[in-house]
Structure 1
Amino acid sequence: MEKLNLIGTQPFETKRMKLRAFKLSDAQYIYKNWASNENVTKYLTWNTHENLEVSTKFCVERTKLSGRTDNFDWVMVLNETSEPVGSIGVIRVDTDKSEAEIGYVLGEDWWNKGLMTEALEPVLAYLFFVVGFDTVVAEHMSDNKASGRVLEKCGMKQCGSSKKVLENKGGHEVETKVYKMTKPEWYAKNIRF
């Protein structure tokens, strides 16, 4: 197995946005654009942020991690407004298996516009071909069908389901769908000769 090229979060651009590491000044947008919205957080493992202070603490934690070479975490900044509208990143790294698990969140005002697919595709390319992961996995709550569509559009395939207890949400149990993609599968989908 090849050694991973752990170079951390590197910025890049898509057609409609910039993906970059968290900055302390993002806190207000995290709160305003997604973390305070219960329609957004109902499908996440963390609770709705009750005030800007919670988002600020979250943002401080993200910025502390941004210098680490094993941290891959991007804020999605819309070119049109220069405001962060969501984030995407690796929530678990398994170096033994050369596997990364990704997670993402997008503010409700920007749903159904193809933005998350636009962010996920280059993140997958980065994780496979710059960092060198062999497999990328993702999981979403079964009720969150839109998240499943994003993963499928990017070529990830459902490979199972599981039940999880959400400790942060009062021990509530949810069913999730698990998706996976390997480097050869990404290559087959995206490289044309």
Structure 2
Amino acid sequence: MKHQGTVILRTPRLVLRRLALSDAELMYTNWAGDPAVTEHLSWPAHVSAQATAEYLSTVIPGYAANDCYLWAIELKIPGEPIGTVGVVGMDETIGEAEIGYCIGRPWWAQGLMTEAASAVADFLFSQVEIKRLVIKHASDNPASGAVARKLGMRHEGCLRQGIRTNQGLEDAEVWSLLTSDRITV
């Protein structure tokens, strides 16, 4: 793989960029402090903007590594962060990257997460030269499956009690997209 780190990516409605400490207030307000957003994630809703700032202070130094891929999803207009998308697992031996994502409730069901995830997938395949992209999500979170389906991913199956979320152990749906799938899509 040809690691490049978290570079700015642009789509028609979004700018994907590195998180900054100045994002703490909006990150907390727009998504990280909302239990409905974090219901099927591995981390609990933040209790305050200060907790979000503390989280950001642990994440931001990671950008120094060229294999760190974590983007703030920012609406071009009005220019505020509304979620995140990033690589949550990587297996260099097979060229695999697993992505995870979340977006604030006011922006659900508008195609924004698919737009962001598609830009990340394009970047990972074309620039980092991954061979396999994976999404794993709780079975009770069909919206994440819809994103995977819209990306042209294939459903590989269900891992029974295969993911730990704020709900405890949940079944996990696994999706993948290979370089060869992208050529034929």
Counterpart residue number, 1:125: 122
Q: Note the alpha carbon deviations across 1:109-168, whole angstroms, 9 max, x for none.
A: 0001100011111111111110011001011110111110111001111101112353x7
Change over 3 Å in CA distance of 1:185–1:165 after alignment to 2: closer
CA displacement at 1:94 relative to structure 2: 0.8
Which residue, 72, 77, 99 being the options, matches 2:74?
Answer: 77
Tell me, what secondary structure is at the counterpart of 1:76? strand
Tell me, what secondary structure is at the counterpart of 2:149? helix
Counterpart amino acid of residue 17 in structure 1: L
Aligned 1:1-193 pairs, distance under 5 A: 4-162=1-159, 163-164=161-162, 166=164, 169=166, 172-189=168-185
**What is the TM-score normalised by the length of structure 2?**
0.95
Does structure 1 retain, via aligned residues, the 8 Å contact 2:138–2:173? Answer: yes
Q: How many residues align?
A: 184
Aligned mates of 2:183, 2:54 — CA distance in 1? 39
Ranges in structure 2 where 5+ consecutive residues have no aligned partner: none
Tell me, what secondary structure is at the counterpart of 1:10? coil
Counterpart amino acid of residue 115 in structure 1: L
Aligned mates of 1:165, 1:19 — CA distance in 2? 27
Change over 3 Å in CA distance of 1:185–1:70 after alignment to 2: same
Q: Note the alpha carbon deviations across 1:33-92, whole angstroms, 9 max, x for none.
A: 001111111011110111112111111122111121011111011011111000100001
Change over 3 Å in CA distance of 1:95–1:106 after alignment to 2: same
Q: Note the alpha carbon deviations across 1:16-38, whole angstroms, 9 max, x for none.
A: 11001111111111101001111
Aligned mates of 1:6, 1:165 — CA distance in 2? 27
Counterpart amino acid of residue 123 in structure 1: V
Let me know the Cα RMSD of the aligned residues: 1.3
Does structure 2 retain, via aligned residues, the 8 Å contact 1:99–1:133? Answer: yes
Matched-pair identity in %: 33
Aligned mates of 2:92, 2:54 — CA distance in 1? 28
Aligned mates of 2:157, 2:4 — CA distance in 1? 31
Counterpart amino acid of residue 99 in structure 2: I
